[in-house]
Amino acid sequence: MKTQFIQIQDISEIDTSKTTVYDLNKRYIDRAGNMYGLRYNRVSKKVEVIKVMRTTARNQTYFTQKMIENRKVHHHEMPAEAGFGESYDSELINHDHYRFHTDGESDFSSFEPDTFKQEMFNAITIHKERLSVIMKNVSNARLVNRDQRELSIRMDDLLRNIDIDGIQRIDKIITAYHEMTEYPRSINYYLGKLESRARNRVAAIAVEDNKIKFVMMYEVYQQLKDLFFIVSKNLLSLKDFVSEMRESRYSKLSSMEKQSLADAITTIDNTLSEINSLTERLQTLDEYMYHPGSFS
């Protein structure tokens, strides 16, 4: 997800009761130059507003351009002379990857892309197993009688989406990454698949090997971003269906079926929460790729 910069008068304009997981990439900037972001609190299960740091004027041109681009896409009124930069609250990301100088300027010197990518792949491998467990528990809960044809088809479709868009997609992403790293094609092959912003970034990179590194990193970012979006969407749809069936069928379920249902809901909630956190961390990779000091 691309970061959206939104100008507000003050923090009171941020209404967390209307936010969704897809709003976590937004940054709100008030008239005093304070920047705020959103964070999902796993304990309270609510979205919170957190204050994030500002960068110094050194990167003003770079971040101002980003705000202008966001204004064109999202039609938000952001003054071009504002010069606010984006950064992150310390609790949103792993400090082993992304740090700040004491003056607030962003610093990627400690960011290790390969380690970061490996952590992401480890996470989605675990999620692949989680999705299998969710499918099994939902099936074992016997929420739908097979003679209820419409509901049965609906549940089968939801589980099929989890399988195709989640489990099978994760396998394809991992396989494609290994093929890309072990048997890379020419840079021209990948350039045709890039969006204009990424192509412009490649053009600005002088060293050919670094261009390849950017392209591979971009491919990983896009694949993971799309994966997290579709898996979250499918899990939310499945959770709605399970909750709906629970209201009408719970009293008729056996003890084991009730336990399978409870396990399914818990695993869905935990997986959604982790995907939210991974999506926030993935934004760090996007910021690194387009930072002026990267690939130099």
Residues 163 and 259 in one domain: yes
Residues 171 and 80 occupy one common structural domain: no
Query: What number is the average pLDDT over the span 29-55?
Result: 71
Q: Does one domain contain both 119 and 244?
A: yes
pLDDT tens for each residue of 223-267: 999 999 999 999 999 999 999 999 888 889 999 999 999 999 999
- The tally of domains found in the chain comes to 2
Q: 73 in a domain, yes or no? A: yes
Does residue 74 sit in the same domain as residue 153? no
Decide if 54 contacts 87 (C-beta within 8 A): yes
pLDDT of residue 21: 60
One-letter amino acid for residue 198 of the chain: A
In this predicted model, which residue has the larger pLDDT, 193 or 3?
Answer: 193
Instruction: Examine the pLDDT at 138 and tell me if it is beyond 70.
Output: yes
In this structure, are strands 26-29 and 4-7 parallel, antiparallel, or unpaired?
parallel
Q: Which domain holds residue 33?
A: 4-107
Q: What span, in angstroms and rounded, lies between the C-alpha atoms of 56 and 106?
A: 8
Q: Does one domain contain both 281 and 139?
A: yes
Residues 282 and 168 in one domain: yes
174/279 same-domain check? yes
Choosing from 56, 89, 107, the residue where a domain stops is: 107
Q: How far is CA 84 from the centre of its chain?
A: 23
Of the listed ranges 8-22, 38-52, 77-91, 183-197, the one predicted with least confidence: 77-91
Reading the block at residue 73, the tokens are 């896409």
Whether 49 maps to a domain, the answer reads: yes
Share above pLDDT 90 across residues of the chain, in percent, rounded to a whole number: 41
Of 83, 91, 90, 99, nearest to 29 (Cα)?
83
Q: Quick one: 161 and 203 in the same domain? A: yes
Please name every residue paired with 53 in a beta bridge, in sequence order, or none if there are none.
none
Residue 89 pLDDT exceeds 70 = no
What pLDDT is recorded for position 265? Answer: 93
* Residue 71 clears pLDDT 90, i.e. is over it: no
| pLDDT in the model for residue 123 | 92
- Residue in the structure block whose two tokens are 């984006």: 86
